[in-house]
Structure 1
Amino acid sequence: MEGSTTQKQLNVVQFVLSISLALFVFLWSLDLMTSTFQVIGNETVIKVLSVTSNPFISLFIGLFITAVIQSSSTSTSLIVAIVASGGMALENAVPMIMGANMGTTLTSTIVSLTYITDNKEFKNAIATGVMHDFFNIMTVIILFPLEYYYHVLSKLSILVASIFNQSPNLNPTGQESRFGLFDYINGFLIDSVAYKAILVILACISLFASIKIISKIISKRMIGGSDDRFQEVFFNKRLKSFGLGTMLTAGIQSSSITTSIIVPLGATGKIHLGKIFPYIVGANIGTTITALIAAFNKSEAALSIALVHFLFNLIGTLIFLFIPYLNKLPILYSRKFGLMTAQYRVIGFFYILFVFFILPLALIFLNRL
């Protein structure tokens, strides 16, 4: 009995240390990527993100960039920095924030494709993976026209930011002075490495590796033999499931991870789609919290764009989680898409290529002609 207790304690310590190390690498790689982009990319990023004032193109630029780097936190932080520095108007940045929300859903969809060898699990996995996509797409369908014609999100975020009476207490670039452990490490790397593209590649590899490790560790922990009680406690009610998604994502700082680790539970049928959906919606809220808190130390413009990210997800949550009938639509269409993809495997691959890469690149390219 004593040996069993000791082994459990060792397993817990190992779990905590593994997660802590992977999270450290994850956060470090995000900081390195952002810092490097700020060094080599202030002008470059502004040119890329400001190629057009067309809100439709801005939407797909945000989608494409986030799909490539697979972190809405990173892409949103870059947009916040550019808006705070005056390189882009708030109204032009709002569609990019919407696109970033859509782009970050790619990871869970790709994870669902790994179940392609088992027809039943594949159907459930696809339905679980694309539910995050469909929630964000449906929210964009509602809010994008309201922003396009009436600037609803822009005006609302400015109003809320003004309530906090933010003052421009920053340097001219809109960035805070750098400090902390990551700053010393990344400052040394940036000063030492002549070719900054190497640092971007290093950050990308570290980012993806840490996401995979965290996903694997947490997924294994959640699907283990002692998992039934965990599911019973956290997924028996919508608000509990929503709260778990919110808190877990706020802690890990990546909805890509928290929505990906739920795919195995959906694939095996351990948790019903209707119970997973509130968790995914909560993850969308959780991913905005860190950036929102950080924005309070920046300018009013930075806070405004961070609030856009939060308000977009909050309004989508209110619509698709609490309004009768509408709260069934993402689940219904996800289930239908899962059935269709299970019958015709190529649909899943075509969906990813078309929505996240072909369509955004085609629109961006056509706009440059």
Structure 2
Amino acid sequence: MTETTESVVDDVLDDAANEVMAKEDTGNQILQWVSVAALVYFLICAVGLIGSGFKTATGDEAKEMFEFATNPFAGLVVGTVATALIQSSSTVTSIIVGLVAGGLPVSVAVPMVMGANIGTSITNTIVSLGHVREKKEFARAFSAATVHDFFNLLSVVIFLPLEMMFGLLEHLGKMLAGIFVVEDASMKGMNFVKAATAPVVNTAKHSVEGLPDGLGGSLLILVGIVMIFITIHYVGKLLKQLMVGRAKDIMHAAIGKGPVSGIFSGTLVTVLVQSSSTTTSLMVPLAGSGAFGLKQIYPFTLGANIGTCITALLAATAVDGNQAAALQIAFIHLTYNVLGVLVIYGIPFLRFLPVKAAEWLGATAAENKLVALAYIIGVFFLIPGLCLGFSSIL
């Protein structure tokens, strides 16, 4: 066989091998998307189980059980600490949606949702510690991570008092939920998602019928929470494999093209990867390397806050229990994050307060690394603990 012939044969074999690999990749991607769809289905079932279990366990006494949390500081602390420990606001808000469907008062749940926004910021703050060896790099990375914290804290400072005085978010959420719900019967006969999840939820309910209500309901809640942990973990893992490359392309294309483009792209990327922590963590190395400035990255962070609301909205579509209330708290989550962007970024003197605070903290932490550690412990655990103690006195 001549060298030319051998070369042609090698090229043909290489082409055939590449074609087989391409088909395998396509097959793997299809399988991954099918897995994502199945996991989303089980996520909705899990939220339904929590709602059903909470309703079974508490009966008509749900409001009385949460009288201790009528002080909004308690709800804020619960949401913050739970999310900081779990490192997933999607998980916490999905659990909250299920609890509201089972009877948790919406007024108690609103501060919990606000707290979840604060708690989710811990992930990218921890990611920034990976740059701690290089002083300038760490200052930029820590600033990019904590701008999310300062924005969410400022949002709470503005909207929690308004909620306490006027019930602003509660009314807006109820109005939006009312578009989809008629007399607590959301689209009866047309809610295919609820019909599809009913076999799993009803089977689980029947399996605990012989147990006392408190025990049976608690088991359903526990199973639902475990399912939410598992499904969100694996959905995030699969979507990162499928979408993070594309998400990075979107991010690189959008950052620097103006705030509207940044906010929209941050929202889109977070919807694609189903995790605001992932979105914001992707930006930290870019900031640390100096590829983008903090003012360029800031709008992208705001979009991540909006995009993360998709999980709670999805979870509320087919809950077992009070769907009107479940949709209301999901829309409250969305409304709160959208209004936060409109008010804080829309008002000139508020717009760059989080940026200035983050730049100052980044520079300070770069000079003394213990400041970074004290900040993480203080904001996410110590201060919430003190607030909880203060709220118990009131």
**TM-based fold match above 0.5:** yes
Q: Which residue of 2 aligns with 1:345?
A: 369
Spell out, residue by residue over 1:250-273, the C-alpha distance to the aligned partner (whole angstroms, 9 max, x if none).
222221111111111111111221
Task: Structure 1: give runs of 5+ residues left out of the alignment.
Answer: 171-175
Residue of structure 2 aligned with 1:78, choices 80, 89, 95: 95
Residue of structure 2 aligned with 1:313, choices 337, 341, 354: 337
Q: Which residue of 1 aligns with 2:347?
A: 323
Spell out, residue by residue over 1:302-344, the C-alpha distance to the aligned partner (whole angstroms, 9 max, x if none).
1211111111111111012232232211112111111111111
Q: In 1, are the aligned partners of 2:52 and 2:102 still within 8 Å (CA)?
A: no
**TM-score, normalised by the number of residues in structure 1:** 0.77
From the superposition, tell whether residues 263 and 25 of structure 1 become closer, same or farther in structure 2 (CA, over 3 Å): farther
Spell out, residue by residue over 1:136-188, the C-alpha distance to the aligned partner (whole angstroms, 9 max, x if none).
11111111111111211112222333344433238xxxxx987769x97xx89
Residue of structure 2 aligned with 1:256, choices 251, 256, 277: 277
**Rg comparison, structure with higher value:** 2
- The secondary structure found in structure 2 opposite 1:341 is helix
From the superposition, tell whether residues 62 and 10 of structure 1 become closer, same or farther in structure 2 (CA, over 3 Å): same
Task: Structure 2: give runs of 5+ residues left out of the alignment.
Answer: 1-10, 187-191, 208-218
Give the whole-Å Cα distance in 2 for the aligned partners of 1:27 and 1:155.
Answer: 29
Q: How many residues align?
A: 358
Moved more, 9-18 or 117-126: 9-18
Q: In 1, are the aligned partners of 2:109 and 2:329 still within 8 Å (CA)?
A: yes
Give the whole-Å Cα distance in 2 for the aligned partners of 1:241 and 1:7.
Answer: 39
Give the whole-Å Cα distance in 1 for the aligned partners of 2:25 and 2:252.
Answer: 19
Q: Which residue of 2 aligns with 1:173?
A: none
Give the whole-Å Cα distance in 2 for the aligned partners of 1:253 and 1:123.
Answer: 28
Spell out, residue by residue over 1:60-119, the C-alpha distance to the aligned partner (whole angstroms, 9 max, x if none).
11111111222222212222222222232x222211111111111111111111211121
Q: In 1, are the aligned partners of 2:40 and 2:231 still within 8 Å (CA)?
A: no
Give the whole-Å Cα distance in 2 for the aligned partners of 1:125 and 1:217.
Answer: 26
Q: In 1, are the aligned partners of 2:43 and 2:315 still within 8 Å (CA)?
A: no
Q: Which residue of 2 aligns with 1:102?
A: 118
Q: Which residue of 1 aligns with 2:358?
A: 334
Give the whole-Å Cα distance in 1 for the aligned partners of 2:34 and 2:133.
Answer: 33
Q: In 2, are the aligned partners of 1:109 and 1:129 still within 8 Å (CA)?
A: yes
Is the aligned partner of 1:295 residue 2:319? no
Question: What is the one-letter code of the residue matched to 2:289?
Answer: T
RMSD between superposed Cα atoms in Å: 4.3
Give the whole-Å Cα distance in 1 for the aligned partners of 2:382 and 2:35.
Answer: 32
From the superposition, tell whether residues 207 and 292 of structure 1 become closer, same or farther in structure 2 (CA, over 3 Å): closer
Give the whole-Å Cα distance in 2 for the aligned partners of 1:199 and 1:48.
Answer: 20
Give the whole-Å Cα distance in 1 for the aligned partners of 2:108 and 2:303.
Answer: 27
* Alpha-carbon shift at residue 46 of structure 1 (Å): 9.0
Q: In 1, are the aligned partners of 2:239 and 2:273 still within 8 Å (CA)?
A: no
From the superposition, tell whether residues 147 and 310 of structure 1 become closer, same or farther in structure 2 (CA, over 3 Å): same
Is the aligned partner of 1:62 residue 2:62? no
From the superposition, tell whether residues 32 and 342 of structure 1 become closer, same or farther in structure 2 (CA, over 3 Å): farther
Is the aligned partner of 1:132 residue 2:148? yes
From the superposition, tell whether residues 164 and 84 of structure 1 become closer, same or farther in structure 2 (CA, over 3 Å): same
Give the whole-Å Cα distance in 2 for the aligned partners of 1:21 and 1:294.
Answer: 18
- The secondary structure found in structure 2 opposite 1:124 is helix
Question: What is the one-letter code of the residue matched to 1:82?
Answer: L
Q: Identity percentage over the alignment?
A: 32
Residue of structure 2 aligned with 1:119, choices 135, 142, 145: 135
Spell out, residue by residue over 1:31-83, the C-alpha distance to the aligned partner (whole angstroms, 9 max, x if none).
79757866877759999976421111111111111112222222122222222
Q: In 1, are the aligned partners of 2:316 and 2:327 still within 8 Å (CA)?
A: yes
Is the aligned partner of 1:286 residue 2:310? no
From the superposition, tell whether residues 247 and 220 of structure 1 become closer, same or farther in structure 2 (CA, over 3 Å): closer
